[in-house]
Structure formats: structure tokens, C-alpha cells
Amino acid sequence: MAEIDYALNTFYLLMTGALVMWMAAGFTMLEAGFVRRRNTAEIVTKNIGLYSIACFMYLLCGFMVMYPGANAGGIIPPYDFGFGLNGQEDFGMNEDLGYADAADFFFQVVFVATAVSIVSGAIAERMNQWPFFALAAFIAGVIYPIQGFWNWGSGFLNAAGYSDFAGSGTVHLAGAACALAAAIFIGPRVGKYSSSGGVNKLYGSNIPIAALGTFILWLGWFGFNGGSQLAVNDASNANAVAQVFLNTNMAASGGVIACLLVSRIFFGKTNIIYALNGAISGLVAITAAPDTPSGYEAVLIGAIGGLLCYGSLVLLEQVLKIDDPVGAISAHGTAGIFGVMVVPFTNSEATFGAQALGVASILVWGFVLTYAFLFLVNMVSPVRSSDEIQKKGLDSEEIGVEAYPEFE
């Protein structure tokens, strides 16, 4: 019976991990739809590149840093580059976990790629490719696993009682903090703001592709949240997984409905861009605690997450003059903060103090290290694409292949 449980949990973790991996396609389509056509091939290249780099860096050091099995309650885990060097010896039957080590690694590595994907959208259309790939490696190998250790690896946030079921903070806020630092360091796209401070709308090239990306992310999120239960071998776990799936779906729906209503009421138009970001922000908001709310509470959490994302989009673009072509900072950062802070309302074991400590720690860590890293990289190689290259498009200059050549 134990081996059947082990096999079932391993299979479940692998299949939900595959769903999360499919989210890479969702991010790619979403970003490709939101950028202008002259930058489409370049953003697709960034996405397949970052996914591969994140996977390698997590195998090289990230996994062992995040889960060192040492320094419980600490801040900086020991670095270890030994995972996977012995092949099958490292990937055997782990009875303590209840599933295979290799399944554990695979499920964790696709979360890393998700965090890095958030950055690619926020800096779209104006960051040189190889400095971005260097940043992706740094996030996957240093920034993400160390703050991941704080929570899921038994570090100081875990000891403080911080609660984040599937990663509203650990994954989404972490990625958004890095994205915010990068967007500020690099600056806005050429033509985004006029000399008088006015905001120019730079519309994306393909709304249907962006919508497809959103639905792919929505589907993948069932693996993201559902897989975080880590087991489905008995009635209790099966019921918990079912509730997580239900709440994940309802939160996304709440986010969409809220943004549709607000855009219609305040602007007289039912804005599809806000609706798509409403779905993402609803999903992010529920991720910290998809297991404890009721279905109606999940709708409310998603709706509030969507509304906060809506307000954040306006604040960043029009007031703070921070250019985020896909709304990643708002959808993952603002909604991520809300998702973490709302946990105590449905989980009596969580406290607002511990949740606030987690938010502050993750935000400061990701922002400071990303900004410092880009400062150093920029001393060696320019991080920002020149104005001339931006006007011509990064497809022709960086890739040499255009996504839509027939429209010339």
C-alpha cells in the first residue's frame, strides 16, 4: 500500500508540474500579444531562454540552496552544488517525502521559471537580451532560492509563522520585486511619455494571442495551486485538492468580473486588457491560501485582487511613470501582497505580523539585489536598448527574425 501511495503522489506531482511548465507558454503568448509586433520574436526568445536558464541554474545550485536541510530558522542557507551529480543515486525513493526526489525537483523548478517570467514582461521592448539572460540566471540561482528557503526551506519566515501555501509572496511577489527594480533601472520605452509628462498608449500587437496566454495560465494554475498540496493518495488530500481547484477557478473569475465592471462604469468601455490582468491578479491573490476559503470567499479575494491590480496599473503608469507593458508588477506584485495579507482571514493559524514580515522581506530582497546586479552589469554591457534600436524594433536588431514579416 505504501508503494501505491508513493507512486500516486509522485505521478500527481509530475502531472501538476507539467501543467505549471505549460504556464511558460502562457507567459510567452501573453507577452507576445501585449508587445508591439516589431518586438514579438524577441520577447518569445527571452521566454524560451529564461525558462531553460532557470532550469539549469536551479539544478546547478538553486534547489540545494532552497532546501539545504540545514540552518533552520536562518537567513542565508549554505550553498551546495551537489544535487543531481550522482544520477539515479540522487533521484531514488524518498520515503520521508512520500514521493520521488526527482518529482520534487521538477515541481519546484517550474516555479522558478514562473518567477523569472514576471520580469521579462515588465522590461519588454527595451532591455538588451544577454543582460536579461544574466539577470535570469542571477534570479534563479541566488535571489529566488534564498528567499524561498526563508519560507519553504525552514528559514526565518517559516519560524516566524509566515504562511504562503503556493507562493503569492514566495513566487509572484518575488518576481514582481525584481521586475519593479528592473523597470525603474531601465526606464520607460521610447515614446511612452511625452516631454510634458503625458502618457502615450503603446498598444500591443495581438489581443487574441494575449487572451490565449491568459487562458493557458489559468489552466496551468490548477497545477500551480493544486500540486502544492503535494499528495492525493487518500480522501483527505483528494478533498483538499478539489477545494483548491474550485477556489483557484473562482478567484480568477472574480478578478475578471470586477475589472469588467469597473472599466465599464468608470470609462464607459469594457477593457479587455484590464479583464485579462484581472484574471491573473485573481489567481495570484488566491495562491497564498487556496485551500482554506469557501468558494464565495475565493470570488471575493479574486475580485479585490483584480480591483487592486486595476488601481495599481493606473498608479504606476500615470502617476509614478513606471512603464510596465504587460502589467506584470501590478498583477503579480500588488495582488501578491494582498494575497499574502488576506491569509489570516481564512486561516486562523496565520498572523498579520508574520505575513507583513514576509511581504517586506521578499520585496526588499528582490528589489535591492536586482537593482544592484543591473548596476554592475551595466558597467560591463549596456542593459537598456538604444533609442534607435527601440524605434526599429528588437526583432531585427537582436534576433534577425521578425514575427510578422508579411505585414511590412
Residue 158 CB neighbour total at 10 angstroms: 19
Domain span including residue 99: 2-69+78-407
3-class secondary structure, 49 = helix
Higher pLDDT, 92 or 171: 171
DSSP string, 218-257: HHHHHHHHHGGG---SSHHHHHHHHHHHHHHHHHHHHHHH
Cβ atoms of residues 277 and 309 within 8 Å:
yes
Highest mean pLDDT among 62-66, 98-102, 377-381: 377-381
Cell of 311: 488601481
The C-alpha cell that represents 74 in the structure block: 536562518
Mean predicted lDDT score pLDDT of the chain: 93
Residues 368-383 have a mean pLDDT of: 98
Amino acid identity, position 244: V
Of 29-33, 64-68, 337-341, 384-388, minimum mean pLDDT range: 64-68
Residue 163 confidence (pLDDT) above 70:
yes
* Mean pLDDT score, 271-279: 95
Q: 299, 253 in Cβ contact below 8 A? A: yes
pLDDT attached to residue 156 = 95
For residue 189, which of 202, 206, 176, 180 has the smallest C-alpha distance? 202
User: Which cell numbers hold the place of 372?
Assistant: 544592484
Q: pLDDT tens digits for 133-156?
A: 999 999 999 999 999 999 999 899
Kindly state the DSSP code that residue 127 receives in the 8-state scheme.
B
Helix axes 235-267, 272-287, angle to 10 degrees: 150
Given a cut of 70, is residue 95 above it in pLDDT? no
Res. 91 pLDDT band, cuts 50 70 90: low
pLDDT digits (tens, 9 = 90+) for 278-327: 999 999 999 999 999 999 999 999 999 999 999 999 999 999 999 999 99
Spatial separation of the C-alpha atoms in residues 254 and 303, rounded to whole Å: 4
Distance from C-alpha of 53 to C-alpha of 217, rounded to nearest angstrom: 20
Res 397: pLDDT: 87
Number of domains making up the chain:
1
Exposed / middle / buried, residue 407 (Cβ in 10 Å: 0-12, 13-18, 19+): exposed
Q: How far apart are CA 248 and CA 353, in angstroms?
A: 25
Instruction: Give the integer Cα–Cα distance in Å for 217 and 279.
Output: 9
Of 12-16, 80-84, 342-346, the poorest mean pLDDT is in: 80-84
Give residue 402's pLDDT: 85
Distances (CA, A) of 195 to 132, 192, 201, 205: 28, 10, 15, 25
Higher pLDDT, 163 or 87: 163
pLDDT at 90 over 60: no
Q: CA-CA distance, 168 to 174, in Å (whole number)?
A: 9
Q: How far is CA 406 from CA 41, 203, 401, 402, 403, in A?
A: 14, 20, 12, 9, 9
CATH number of the domain to which 389 belongs: 1.10.3430.10
Read off the pLDDT band of 352 (50, 70, 90).
very high
What are the beta bridge partners of residue 193?
199
Whole-number Å distance between alpha carbons of 6 and 184 = 47
The mean pLDDT of 224-233, rounded to a whole number, is 95
pLDDT over 60 (residue 236): yes
Question: 49-87: buried (b, 16+ CB within 10 Å) or exposed (e) per residue?
Answer: bbbebbbebbbbbbbbbbbbeeeeebeebeeeeebbeee
**Eight-state DSSP code of residue 384:** B
Amino acid code (one letter) for 127: M
pLDDT exceeds 90 at position 405: no
